[in-house]
Amino acid sequence: MQFDTKVGTDIDEAAFWLKKGEVVGIPTETVYGLAANGLHADAVAKIYDIKNRPSFNPLILHVANENALQDLVVNNKIAQVFMHAFMPGPLTLVLPRKAIVPDITTAGLDTVGVRIPNHELTQSLLQKLDFPLAAPSANPSGYVSPTKAEHVAENLSGKIPYVLDGGACIVGLESTIIGFENGQPVCYRHGGLAIEVLEKLIDQQIPLRIQADVLHSPGQMKSHYATNTPLFIIENEEDIKQWKGKHIGCIVYDQFMSEIPHENQMLLSPDSDLHTAAKNLFQAMREMDARGFEMILAQKVQNTGIGYAINDRLQRAQHHLKNV
Ligand code: TXA
Ligand code: MG
C-alpha cells in the first residue's frame, strides 16, 4: 500500500493507524521503532515487508508497564530484579513467551524480547492501546538505525502513514538485550545500558552471546547498521596514512585528526563523554554518508560502559563484512 507519509506529534493519529493494523514510526529513548500491533499476525507481517527484514529475525514487544509485560512472558527472579531496576529504560529481556504472542512476532522461537521504552510520547501512545507494539528499529534492513523522525521519513516515505515525532533520541543506540540460559543471564547485544551496571546489581558476571550478522545468501555477508559509503574503523592518526590521497570523511571521538581537513570530520563528543558520542553516532554516520566521500573512517572508542555498544555498531558497519 502507498501512503502519503505524515510526520507529527499527534498520539491519537498514531493510535488510529495502529488500531487499523497499519505500521507507524515511533520514538523511543534508544532509536526510532517501526511499530505495529504485536499480537496481530497481519500487522506484524507488514513490518517485515516494509523493512525488508528476513522472516527468521524476531521482533521486540514494547509495553507501557510491568503489568502489561506479565501478560506476554514467563518471568524469572533475575529478570524481575532487572525489570524493577531498569525498566522503563534501554533494556530488552528475552523470556519464554505466553501463548498470546503469535509465531510471526518471535520468528517461531519460544521466547520473546520485551521492553518498556522510556519516552513520554510513546508511553502515552501505549496507554491508549490494548495491545503491545512489535517494533524493530525503523531503518531498512542493513542500514543505519534512525535517531530522528526525519531519518524515518527519509528512509520509509510512502510506505507508512505516520511517524510520531518525539525529537532526537536521548540514548542514540539500541537497547541492551539480555536472555537467560538455565535461569542465568546472558548478553545477546551490547546497547544503551552498560553491561557492567547490570553485573553490579546482581553481583555476577554476564557472559556474552553476541549475535552475528544475518547471512543473506551464500558467499555474501550483509553488514548491519552500514552506511552506503564504505566505512573502516581506525584507532589513531597513524591508521589514516594507508589511505593517503583518498577523499575521506572522518568520524572522531573527541579530537580532530591532523591529517584530514576539519570540515571533513565530525566530533562525536567534544566533551569526551561516551554517552554524548553514542547519542550522536548514527546521525554522524548518516551525515557523512550523504556527503559523497570515497570512504568514511570512524574512530574506535574506549571499551568501557556504553563504549562497548559504540564499538559493536562500528564493527557491524565496517565494510569488510560486505560482499565477501
Ligand atoms: O532499542 C531497541 O531495542 C529498538 C527500539 C525500537 O526498541 N529496537 C530494536 O529492534 O533494536 P531490532 O529488531 O532492530 O533488534 C532486535 C534484536 C534483533 O537482533 C533480534 O534478533 C533480537 O533483538 N531478538 C528479538 N527477539 C529475540 C529472541 N526471542 N531471542 C533472541 N534474540 C531476539
Ligand atoms: Mg535494528
Nearest alpha carbon, ligand 1 atom 10? 136
Q: Where are the alpha helices (DSSP H) in the chain?
A: 11-19, 41-51, 66-70, 77-86, 103-106, 120-127, 149-156, 195-202, 274-289, 307-317
C-alpha cell at 188: 545477546
User: What distance in angstroms lies between residue 188's CA and the mean position of ligand 1's atoms?
Assistant: 9
Q: Give me the residues paired with residue 189 across strands.
A: 177
User: What distance in angstroms lies between residue 131's CA and the mean position of ligand 1's atoms?
Assistant: 18
What is the structure's pLDDT at 167? 98
Q: What is the DSSP string of 181-243?
A: ETTEEEEEE--SS-HHHHHHHHTS---B-PPPPPEEETTEEPPSSB-SS-EEEE-SGGGGGGG
User: What distance in angstroms lies between residue 253's CA and the mean position of ligand 1's atoms?
Assistant: 27
What is the structure's pLDDT at 108? 96
- Contacts of residue 11, defined as CB under 8 A and 6 or more positions apart, other chains included, come to 121, 124, 125, 128, 164
Q: Locate the ligand 1 atom nearest the alpha carbon of residue 32 and give its number.
A: 6
Each residue of 216-250: pLDDT tens digit?
A: 444 444 577 899 999 999 999 999 999 989 999 99
| DSSP 3-state of 163 | strand
Given a cut of 90, whether residue 60 has pLDDT beyond it is yes
**Across 196-216, average pLDDT:** 86
Nearest alpha carbon, ligand 1 atom 15? 136
Q: Give me the residues paired with residue 234 across strands.
A: 299
Distance between CA atoms of residues 270 and 170, nearest Å:
17
What is the structure's pLDDT at 16? 98
Task: Tally the residues of the chain.
Answer: 324
Each residue of 95-127: pLDDT tens digit?
A: 999 999 999 999 999 999 999 999 999 999 999
Strand order in the sheet with 295-299: 231-234, 295-299, 248-252, 265-267
C-alpha cell at 54: 528476513
Residue 1: band (very low, low, confident or very high) from pLDDT cuts 50, 70, 90: confident
User: What distance in angstroms lies between residue 175's CA and the mean position of ligand 2's atoms?
Assistant: 10
The vertex-173 CA angle with 168 and 137, nearest 5°, equals 80
Each residue of 15-33: pLDDT tens digit?
A: 999 999 999 999 999 999 9
Q: Locate the ligand 1 atom nearest the alpha carbon of residue 174 and give its number.
A: 1
What is the structure's pLDDT at 213? 58
Q: What is the DSSP string of 56-100?
A: TS--EEE-SSHHHHHTTB---HHHHHHHHHH-SSSEEEEEEBPTT
pTM: 0.96
Whether 313 contacts 144, CB under 8 Å: no
Q: Judging by DSSP bridges, how do beta strands 184-189 and 176-181 pair with one another?
A: antiparallel
Amino acid at site 231: L
In angstroms, how far apart are the furthest CA atoms of the chain?
59
First and final C-alpha spacing in the chain: 35
CA 82 → CA 115, 116, 197, distances in Å?
Answer: 11, 12, 10
User: What distance in angstroms lies between residue 259's CA and the mean position of ligand 2's atoms?
Assistant: 34
Nearest alpha carbon, ligand 1 atom 31? 94
C-alpha cell at 154: 527519509
Q: Locate the ligand 1 atom nearest the alpha carbon of residue 117 and give its number.
A: 7
Query: 78-92, 126-140, 212-226, 258-272: which range is least confident on average?
Result: 212-226
Whether 160 contacts 22, CB under 8 Å: yes
**Ion ligand 2: residues, Cβ under 5 Å:** 137
Distance between CA atoms of residues 167 and 183, nearest Å:
38
Query: Residues lining ligand 1, CB < 6 A?
Result: 28, 30-31, 33, 57-60, 92, 94, 106, 109, 111-113, 115, 135-137, 174-175, 177, 179, 188, 211
Burial (CB < 10 A; 0-12, 13-18, 19+), residue 151, is buried
The secondary structure element, H or E, covering residue 303 is none
User: What distance in angstroms lies between residue 115's CA and the mean position of ligand 1's atoms?
Assistant: 10
* Cis peptide bond prior to 261, omega within 30° of 0: no
